Every structure is written in structure tokens, then in C-alpha cells.
């Protein structure tokens, strides 16, 4: 089989898309945003509970779309929980670099190892937006989504 395809649809990604983590609406969310990709109809809603210091005390998502968009959202919520805003921003930038095939060495070793499974997307430029939808939605929630 095509190795780029195998890289893109590896088991970790398919598993996240079939069994998304932290899935569902959140009562009492402090922030919320809906992301939509009009090109393909992918939808992701991100719910956040930010602590007084801006730390991600809790995060959940709901969505519908392709395997890449949903797996990316699932991995994102998994990794963002507990992070400060600065840490979250750094993770996001690293992720964006990674999926575009750019230098992602600013990620910590641990983060890079976990996110590496999404690296295969850089071979599929038409699909990068699927992978970044959840992250942009998270950012929107923080900046403009206070409930």
C-alpha cells in the first residue's frame, strides 16, 4: 500500500477518530466556539473551562467530519488539558508547523512524540485544513468565546 496513505491513516489516528476522547458538550463552560470548514463541511465545537490564571482546567469537543479533523480534535483536547495559555499557544504553533512540514523543533520532545502521528498530513496539503480546524476553533474560543 501507498506508504504516505499508511502514514496518514495510521492506527492511532483511526482510533482517535472512531473513539474520540473527551467528547461531548460541557455544562458550565467558560468559553466555547464552533469551527466550520465550508469547503468540506467539517464541524468542531470546543468547550473550555479556563481557570482564573487562564489554565485549561477542562476541555471537551463535539464534532462531525472526516477522520483527520476528528482525530486531530480528539488529540488536541487530550493534550491541552492542564496547560497554561502560553504552553497551549506553544503547542499550537508547533502543531501548525508539524502539519505543514515545517520545523517543529520548538515542541518539547514528549509533545513532538505524541503529535508525530499527525506529521503524515504534510504530504497532503489539501487536508491540512482538516487537521488545523480544531486548533483554530480552540483559539477562537479562548479569544472570543467567553460564555
Partner 1 sequence: MTAQSKISASFDAEKARADFEILSRQVYGKPLVYLDSGASAQKPRVVLDAMRDFAQSEYANVHRGVHFLSAAATDRYEAARRTLQKFLKAASEDELVFTKGGTEAINLVAHSYLMPTIQPGDEIVLSVMEHHSNIVPWHFLRERHGAVLRWVDVRDDGCLDMDALDAAIGPKTKLVAITHMSNVLGTITPLKDIVARAHAKGVPVLADGCQGAVHQPVDVQALDIDFYVITGHKLYGPTGIGALYAKKAHLKKMRPFNGGGEMIREVARDRITYADPPARFEAGTPPIIESVGLAVALDYLMALDRTAVAAHEHDLLAYARQQVGQFNWLRVIGDAPGKGAILSFEADGMHAHDLATILDREGVAVRAGHHCAQVLMERFSVASTSRASFALYNTRADVDALIGGLSKAREILVHG
Q: Which residues of 86-99 are buried (b: 16+ CB within 10 A; e: fewer)?
A: ebbebbbebbbbbb
Minimum distance of partner 1 from residue 35's CB (angstroms): 14
Residues that bind partner 1 (CB under 8 A): 1-2, 4-6, 8-9, 11, 14, 39-43, 64-68, 124, 126-127, 130
Smallest distance, Å, CB 2 to partner 1?
A: 5
Using DSSP, how many helices (H) and how many strands (E) does the chain show?
Answer: 6, 3
Q: How far is the CB of 9 from partner 1 (least distance, A)?
A: 5
Q: Between residues 6 and 85, which has the closer beta carbon with respect to partner 1? A: 6
User: Cβ atoms within 10 A of the Cβ of 108, count?
Assistant: 12
Nearer of residues 56 and 130 to partner 1, judged by Cβ: 130
Closer residue to partner 1 (CB): 5 or 146: 5
Cα distance between residue 117 and residue 110, in whole Å: 13
Distance CA 2, CA 31 (A): 41
Rounded-to-integer distance, Cα 78 and Cα 38, Å: 26
Task: Tell me if 78 sits within 8 A of 61, measured CB to CB.
Answer: no
Least distance (Å) from partner 1 to the CB of residue 120?
Answer: 11
Nearer to partner 1, 2 or 53 (CB): 2
Amino acid at each position: 500500500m501507498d506508504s504516505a496513505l499508511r502514514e496518514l491513516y495510521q492506527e492511532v489516528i483511526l482510533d482517535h477518530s472512531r473513539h474520540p476522547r473527551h467528547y461531548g458538550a460541557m455544562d458550565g463552560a467558560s468559553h466555547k466556539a464552533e469551527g466550520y470548514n465550508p469547503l468540506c463541511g467539517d464541524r468542531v465545537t470546543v468547550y473550555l473551562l479556563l481557570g482564573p490564571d487562564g489554565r485549561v482546567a477542562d476541555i471537551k469537543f463535539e464534532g462531525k467530519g472526516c477522520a483527520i479533523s476528528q482525530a486531530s480534535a480528539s488529540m488536541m483536547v487530550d493534550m491541552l488539558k492542564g496547560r497554561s495559555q502560553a504552553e497551549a499557544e506553544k503547542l499550537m504553533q508547533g502543531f501548525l508547523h508539524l502539519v505543514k512540514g515545517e520545523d517543529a523543533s520548538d515542541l518539547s520532545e514528549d509533545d513532538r512524540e505524541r503529535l508525530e502521528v499527525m506529521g503524515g498530513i504534510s504530504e497532503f496539503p489539501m487536508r491540512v485544513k482538516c487537521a488545523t480546524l480544531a486548533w483554530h476553533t480552540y483559539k477562537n474560543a479562548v479569544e472570543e468565546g467567553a460564555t
